[in-house]
Amino acid sequence: MGEISIYTYLDIILICSGIGFVIENIWLVLRYGYFDNRNMNLPFLLGYGMAVVAIYMLLGTPKDMPDMKYYIMVLVLVSAGELILGISVEKICNIHYWDYSSLPFHLTRYTSLFTSMGFAEIITVFMRFCFPKLVMYLSANDTVVMKFVGIVGVIALIFDFLYSFIRMKRTKNHYTKWRVNLIGENLHREKTV
């Protein structure tokens, strides 16, 4: 793929953070029947963008090694990332950031075999089929506007992340700014901790 510029990485972080927001809300709709702001003000989750770039820097793409080896390594990284993030937020903010305890084969409340397998599959497919095309497109369109969007966008995501986590630490609660219930308020059952 060649050398990737810092500006392309910033744009990838921005795009994948938006995709992460959508993926988490699809999970919420399927599991609980609602979608929400995911503890942020902006419709982006910085961790997803950072994770994709980190995985690329550590592993490359699935074309760089056998698919199963790549998948297993991503599975381990996803599980470790979820554990580190969940435990860190619990220690810093005094809240349970999420809870997979009701899922089979969970390892602590912050990771489960099935969620890690699902994320590993999504990431592996994305890194094989979408990531190279995204890099090619962004590299070919490395304009002043795209550089500006990447810089300003990622800075905005960092400030949103910091604001939201400071707020959660202060309130010792999730930052639910808005929520849309699709199955009715009374039918919604979320495990509250």
Q: For residue 25, which of 9, 10, 40, 15 has the smallest C-alpha distance? A: 40
What is the reported pLDDT for 75? 98
Point out which residues pair with 107 in neighbouring strands: 111
Give the model's pLDDT for residue 1.
Answer: 74
Q: Are 15 and 50 contacting, i.e. CB atoms less than 8 angstroms apart?
A: no
pLDDT at 81: 96
d(CA 106, CA 127): 26
Identify the DSSP state of 39: T
Q: What number of other Cβ atoms are within 10 A of residue 121's Cβ?
A: 13
Write down the residue that tokens 């592996």 correspond to. 124
How much is the pTM? 0.92
pLDDT string in tens for the chain (193-residue length): 789 999 999 999 999 999 999 999 999 999 899 999 999 999 999 999 999 999 999 999 999 999 899 999 999 999 999 999 999 999 999 999 999 999 999 999 999 999 999 999 999 999 999 999 999 999 999 999 999 999 999 999 999 999 999 999 999 999 999 999 998 654 444 444 3
Question: Nearest-CA neighbor of 29 among 188, 178, 164, 192?
Answer: 188
β partners of residue 36: 179
Q: Measure Cα distances from 117 to 52, 121, 124, 187 in Å.
A: 16, 6, 10, 29
pLDDT computed for residue 2 by the predictor: 81
Q: Give me the helices (H) in the chain, please.
A: 6-32, 46-59, 67-93, 113-125, 131-140, 144-171
- Residue 185's pLDDT is 58
CB 90 within 8 A of CB 96: yes
